Amino acid sequence: MGDALEGVLLADEPRHNLPLGLLATAQAQPEVYPDVVGWVVRERNGVVGGALRTPPHNLILLRPARDGVLEAVADSVDIELPGVVGAVPEVDAFAAAWARRHELDATTKVEQRIYALRELEAPRHVRGELRLAGPRDRSLVLERFLAFGEEIGEHDDEQLERSVDARLASDDAGVGLWLLDGEVVSIAGFGGPTPNGIRIGPVHTPGPLRGRGYGTAVTAAVTRLQLDRGRRFCFLYTDLANPTSNAIYQRLGYEPVCDSRLVAFTARPAATA
């Protein structure tokens, strides 16, 4: 499936960093995503679109190569979906088509922006130093991942735990810890490698320690680490409702790629007489 979708995915690697990273992780560490399913839309000249899913999670939509592909995907997916995530505008077109076919309501739940960085701009100096997390840091990293998940409304604790274990066991993924006087004040994960890049995140600083530059420092440090390892790109997602984080990452050299949305599907209220 990954080989079939390769041309569509690599036509815009930054835009498709999420599905590319998912497929790479599923191949290298299948325990992280025990079940991966996909849909491929073909025409005479090859693959022109598709979608992926790791049940029971949302559908991940690919950018179509031409008009009409999203409708074909909507016709082909024959299972119930809690929602769909993808870049704008294709995610909106698919959500409208799917909701219309199944008489559902489509509601935007999360609005994000995808960024890509090629050259890091040095941040202002912040006291502390980077250390990569190891097995002995598992409890702390899991605690921070769960806290981050709670803040963004991600409640699949089992998936987050698998993600932590996979990152700590991987040569391509991991978690950076920002230490100040021996205390971990912020973390930044990295994982989901693509052919030329890798995704940074989650980034989490406990509430009482925010506003001191620790999140910026650890993000810059793990970004530099990945570029030094030969990555051409680093990617990350930001919450569009948080102008502060969007401004911070742009100062580091992250450039907007596109917006991304999570759209949830729910049953329409029953009509009243």
**Domains of the chain: residue spans and CATH:** 2-114+261-267 (3.40.630), 120-252 (3.40.630.30)
- Quote the pLDDT of residue 1: 59
- Quote the pLDDT of residue 112: 96
- Quote the pLDDT of residue 27: 92
Q: How far is CA 69 from CA 12, 39, 76, 113, 212, in A?
A: 17, 11, 11, 24, 47
Calpha distance 61→53 (Å, rounded): 9
- Quote the pLDDT of residue 218: 97
CA-nearest of 242, 250, 168, 257 to 205 is 242
* 3-class state of residue 266 by DSSP: strand
- Quote the pLDDT of residue 156: 79
Sequence-ordered strand ranges (E) for the chain: 37-43, 46-53, 59-61, 83-87, 104-117, 129-132, 174-180, 183-191, 197-204, 233-239, 255-267
- Please state the pTM of the whole predicted model: 0.93
**Sign of torsion, CA 206 207 211 216?**
positive
- Quote the pLDDT of residue 90: 97
Helix axes 157-169, 138-152, angle to 10 degrees: 140
Which ranges of the chain have pLDDT less than 70?
1-2, 271-273
- Quote the pLDDT of residue 272: 58
